[in-house]
Structures are given as structure tokens and as C-alpha cells.
Structure 1
Amino acid sequence: MTLAVFYKLVAIFLTAGLGWVVGRMRWLGDERKGADPARTLSNAAFYIFVPALLFRTTSRLDFAHMPWGLIGAFFVPVVGLAVIVYAIGRHRNRAGSGAAAAPAVRAVSASFGNTLQIGVPMAAALFGEAGLGLHITIVSLHSLTLLTVLTTLAELDLARARARHEEAGGGTLLATLKVTVRNTIIHPVVLPVLAGMAWNLTGLGLPTVVDEVLVQLGSAVVPLCLTLIGMSLAYYGLRGSLRGAIALTATKLLVLPAVVLVVAHWGFGLQGLPLQVAVMMAALPAGSNTLMFSQRYETLEGETTSTIVLSTLAFAATAPLWLAVLAWVD
């Protein structure tokens, strides 16, 4: 654990702590009296700031010079594990009575890492400029890939739940299909990604003023999400969600980097600096955007908050472990 990463961890907890104070003191409103300031802030992030960040990122990607071997070595196991966690959740939902979006929410918590606040200083401190460049390359596709895949799965599950309800009420399959397609495409994650890709294909750069507006909007995502974590912790606490949070934390910090190591090294033949960057990126704690995802679907907010807090605390112990494993493998 380097000093730069340690300082980032402290800054994250202090920012989340400020959110906890805001939530505890009910400075923005009292959710017990009908107000829900956390939901309002989450909607602002999801409908304004995150779309700006995603559109700008995808519109500026240079696909011609992407290190596709590294990208495949990282995303194949990460998306694969996310789908496995999702499938397990689906199976449990069929056996019991879980919220329709719960499997996708848990899959996000188990796979989506804190690639910016912790990941960037970690990569810079451990691997230098070359490693940071590789890390940023993966970051550019991180939200695009994971949030798009898991948003689609969540919307499909919600569509199935609606179909069962409408079937009981006499609704038609065509009507359900139209709603599913519309909700999947006209979505604050998927739509800006598709729009950014379309703009990228034109070969035109973003106008300076538009780019500056997108930069300003996108820069609000990190502090807003960290504040939301603290507010949610004040509202929900850790009680009642620890069991699921511990399982998701173990999956994120231990299982996911192990899977990436095996697939990247022995499957894709990755070694040296690219392998180290891929594994350490997989070893990052759960990202703050996971809470925004859970609040979007009003599902497992307490468990998601607990997972972010626990995984960030545990990262101080697991990061040196993975660095030692990488030193032994190489």
C-alpha cells in the first residue's frame, strides 16, 4: 500500500463521512417525513452527470489504437463473473421472492471497481506512467461495458416481472416487448453510450464549449456519489445487510482478481506490466457508482452501501496480498 493510495482512501472516507453527517443531521430533508434527498441526488447523478461523463468518454475513444489483448484479458473474466453472480441471483429469485433487479444490482457490486478515486493513484504509484496509461485505457471502457450489460439484464428482468403481471391482467406480449426495448435503449446509461458511439463514428471532435460543459458535469459524479454513500449509510446502517455485503466484498476483492489472473495469464498469455495492471484493477474495491445503480432500481441500497464501505476498508489488506501473488507469478 503506497502513501498516495492511502491518502486517497482517507479522502474517500472523509467525503463519505461528510455525507453521513448530512444524512444523520437531515440537513437536506428528513426521509422519515416523506422527503428523500438521497434519491433526489441519485437521480441528478444518474440523469445529468453520469450521462455527460459516458457521452464524452465514448465520443473520444480511439478504437484504432486500443490494446485489444489487454482489454479482452480483463473484460472477458470480469463480465463472465458478473454474469455468473447475476445467474446465481436469478436462480435464488426463482426459489424465493426477491426484487426483480436484485440479481443485476449484486452483479454490479461484485464486478464494478473504484477505478478512478483509488485506481488512478494506485496505478500511477505502483506502475508509473506506462502502467497508468494501460489503466486509463481499461477505465475508458469500464462503465461503458459493465453498466451497459448489467443495465440490459436488469431491464429484461423487470420486463419479465411486468409480463407476468400483465399476463395475469390480460396484457399482450407485444406491449411488453415495446416497453422493454424502450426502457433498455432510452436509459440514462445506455442512451448516452449509443449517442457517444454515433458521434465517434462521424470522426468529428466535440466543439470546445460542449466539451467544457461535459467536463464540468462529469466532474460532479465522484464527489456526489461519495456523498450519497455516506447519506445512505446514515439512513440504512450496516445492520441487516452485513451477510450479503461480506459475500460480495469477498467476491470483489478475492474471487474476481483470481479469475482475472488465471484467464489473463494462462488464457490470454498476458505477463509483466499488462498482467499486473489488469489484476490490480480487478482487485479494486466496489465503486461508488454501484450505489447509484441500486438506487436507480430502488433495490438493495443498504447492502450496496455496506459492500462499498467494507470492500474499501478491506482493500488496505488485500492489495498487498495481490501484489505479492503477482511478484510470485512473474
Structure 2
Amino acid sequence: MTIAVFYKLLAIFIAVAIGWFVGRMRWLGEGTGGNDPARVLSNVAFYIFAPALLFRTTARLDLASLPWLTLAAFFIPAVLLLLLVYGWQRWRSHAETAAAAPSVQAITISFGNTLQIGVPFAAGIFGEAGLAIHITVISMHALTLLTLSTLLVELDLARARPDAAGLASTLATTVRNTVIHPVVLPVLAGLIFNSTGVALPTVLDEVLQMLGTAVVPLCLTLIGMSLAYYGWPKAWRGVLGLAALKLLLMPALVLVVAHWGFGLSGVPLSVIVMAAALPTGSNALIFAQRYRTQEGETTAAIVASTLLFVLTAPLWLAVLSWLTAS
């Protein structure tokens, strides 16, 4: 753990603590009678700042230069784990369980904090070459995992509606709600714009960049506010289980698939394994708040996994060092 990464973790906890203090003091409202400041801020991030960031990222993406083998070695196991957790949670869910709960838990264990923690970690540990690989993972991260999670949750919601008709109607509703969505629509629009080969106009690029930079600080303070308004979950077993899946199972799965399945080694292997080992990202919370499901559990999982990352990161670095030396 480098000093730069330690300072980044400390800055994250300070931002979360500021959000918690503001929420605890109720400076933005009491959170009763339909007035929930945490959810309002989450909607601002979900409908304004995150779409700007996603559109700009996909519109500027150089698809031809992406290392597709390395990306496949990361995203195939990540998607597999997401689907496995989603399927398991759906199978064991009770009738009173919210329809969106399996998808929220699945995104919590698969979506890592690749930006706030991942970028300084990759730069500090692996240098410029490792950072370049990590940036390619970031470029496809939300596009792949958030889009898939949105599809799953919208399918469940369409199926759970009392007026749900046959299969064709359910699929049509799912596709419509998935495409016309504040996460998926800007991604699709960005890819379509990207395919034209036209550069973003300077003014539009500046506006999108300005809006996109608000995502990180808003989401970090939102985590603290959510802790203040929703409180810590009474059952810690579920929270620690989510954190363990994110910090231990996901990087183990990526390591096995990438090294023994795709034959990766050296810096590319180390970068994607450590990307998989990152704690849960704040986008999982705005996803949970979008569907009003598991907000408290998701918030606690983000905080717990970020704290435990201090212990698990050196463990995975040691495993990778041993694997390289053997």
C-alpha cells in the first residue's frame, strides 16, 4: 500500500464523514414526510451528472485500440459472478422481497471503485503502463456492468407488475425501460456518436466534463448522508458477505480465468486482478436508491469493503508476487 493510495483512502473517508455530518445535523432536511435529501441528491447524480460522464466517456472511446483479450479476461468472470449472485438471490428471495433486490446485490459485489481508489492504486503500484490498462477497464466498466444490471432489474420489475401480460409484453416493457434509462441511454448515445467519427464540439465537451466531475464528490458525500439517514443495517452478516464476495471471490475468479484461461501474466494480469479486488463503488448506491431497495445494506457494504481493502489489497499483491516468482 503506497502513501498515495493511503492518502486517497483517507480523503474518501473524510468526504464520507462530511456527508454523514451534514446528514446527522439534518441541514438538508429531516428525511421524513417524503422529503429524503439523500434520495434527491442520488437522483441528481443519476439523472444529470452520471449521464454526462457516461456519454462523454463512450463518445471519446477509441474502440480500435482497446486490449480486448485483457478486457475479456476481466469482464467475463465479472459478468459471470454478477449473474451467479443475481440468480442465487432470485432463487432464495421470498415473496415479500423487493423485485430489484437481487440486481442491487449483484451490482454491489461486482462494481468496483475503479476511479477514486483504482486510479491512484494502479498508478502507484504498477506505474504508467499499469495505469493505461486500468483506464481501459474503467472505459468499459459502467457500460458493461450497469447496463446488464439495469436489464436484469427492469426484467424483474416488468415481471412483478400486477398488470404484466405475456412474455412478449414483458420483454417489450423491459427493453423500453432498459433503453430509456439514465444509465443506458447516454451510453448508447455516446457509442452512436462515437461511430460517426466526429469529435465532440469543444463547448459540449467542456460542459460534459464539468458535469461529470461532480459525480465523485457527490457520490462520496451521499454515502455518508445515507448512513446518517438510513443507519447501519441490524444484520451485519449480509453486509460482510457482500464485502467478502467483492474483495475475495471476485479477484480470485478473475485470477483463475485470466491466468489459466487466457494465459495472462505480468502487469496485465496484476492490474485486472487488483481492479477486481477493489471495494464496492459508489455507483452501487445510486443504483440502489434509484430502485429504492437495499439502500442501507449497500451503503454499509461500500464502507465496510473500503475499510477491509486496506487488509485485502496487500494479500492479493502478495499472491500475484508469488505467482510471478514461481
How does the TM-score come out when normalised to structure 2? 0.97
The residue that corresponds to 1:52 in the other structure is 52
The residue that corresponds to 1:239 in the other structure is 233
What are the equivalent positions in structure 2 for 1:19-168 lying under 5 Å apart?
19-93=19-93, 95-162=94-161, 165-166=162-163
Deviations 1:131-187 (A, max 9, x none): 00010011110011100011110100001101xx115xxx56665444322211100
Deviation at 1:242, TM superposition (A): 1.8
Q: For 1:240 and 1:151, locate their aligned partners in 2 and report how far apart those are by CA, in whole Å.
A: 28
Q: For 1:100 and 1:116, locate their aligned partners in 2 and report how far apart those are by CA, in whole Å.
A: 29
Q: For 1:280 and 1:176, locate their aligned partners in 2 and report how far apart those are by CA, in whole Å.
A: 39
Q: Is the 8 Å Cα contact of residues 166 and 172 (structure 1) preserved in structure 2?
A: no
Q: Is the 8 Å Cα contact of residues 109 and 248 (structure 1) preserved in structure 2?
A: yes
Q: For 1:30 and 1:328, locate their aligned partners in 2 and report how far apart those are by CA, in whole Å.
A: 52
Q: Is the 8 Å Cα contact of residues 77 and 259 (structure 1) preserved in structure 2?
A: yes
What are the equivalent positions in structure 2 for 1:310-325 lying under 5 Å apart?
310-325=304-319
Q: Is the 8 Å Cα contact of residues 38 and 229 (structure 2) preserved in structure 1?
A: no
Pick aligned residue for 1:267 from 238, 261, 271: 261
Segments of 5+ residues of structure 2 without an aligned counterpart are none
Q: For 2:181 and 2:233, locate their aligned partners in 1 and report how far apart those are by CA, in whole Å.
A: 32
How does the TM-score come out when normalised to structure 1? 0.96
- Structure 2 letter corresponding to 1:107: A
Q: For 2:174 and 2:280, locate their aligned partners in 1 and report how far apart those are by CA, in whole Å.
A: 28
- Structure 1 letter corresponding to 2:279: P
Percent identity of paired positions between Structure 1 and Structure 2: 66
Deviation at 1:189, TM superposition (A): 0.6
The residue that corresponds to 2:213 in the other structure is 219
Stretches (4+) displaced over 2 A:
171-181
Deviation at 1:35, TM superposition (A): 1.2
Deviation at 1:92, TM superposition (A): 1.3
Q: 1:63 to 1:239 in 2, by over 3 A?
A: closer
Q: 1:103 to 1:261 in 2, by over 3 A?
A: same
Deviation at 1:96, TM superposition (A): 4.2
Q: For 1:265 and 1:54, locate their aligned partners in 2 and report how far apart those are by CA, in whole Å.
A: 30
Q: For 2:305 and 2:171, locate their aligned partners in 1 and report how far apart those are by CA, in whole Å.
A: 38
Deviations 1:274-327 (A, max 9, x none): 000010000000001110000000000000000000000000000000000000
Does residue 191 in structure 1 map to residue 185 in structure 2? yes
- Structure 2 letter corresponding to 1:108: I
- Structure 1 letter corresponding to 2:145: L
Q: For 1:34 and 1:241, locate their aligned partners in 2 and report how far apart those are by CA, in whole Å.
A: 26
Q: For 2:85 and 2:166, locate their aligned partners in 1 and report how far apart those are by CA, in whole Å.
A: 31
Q: Is the 8 Å Cα contact of residues 241 and 306 (structure 1) preserved in structure 2?
A: no
The residue that corresponds to 2:287 in the other structure is 293
Q: Is the 8 Å Cα contact of residues 83 and 107 (structure 1) preserved in structure 2?
A: yes
Q: 1:172 to 1:321 in 2, by over 3 A?
A: closer
SS of the residue aligned with 1:251?
helix
Q: Is the 8 Å Cα contact of residues 151 and 174 (structure 2) preserved in structure 1?
A: no
Report the count of equivalent residues: 324
The residue that corresponds to 2:13 in the other structure is 13
SS of the residue aligned with 2:32?
helix
- Structure 2 letter corresponding to 1:31: G
Segments of 5+ residues of structure 1 without an aligned counterpart are none
Q: For 2:316 and 2:147, locate their aligned partners in 1 and report how far apart those are by CA, in whole Å.
A: 28
Deviations 1:22-47 (A, max 9, x none): 11111011112431111111101000
SS of the residue aligned with 2:234?
coil
Q: For 1:121 and 1:172, locate their aligned partners in 2 and report how far apart those are by CA, in whole Å.
A: 49
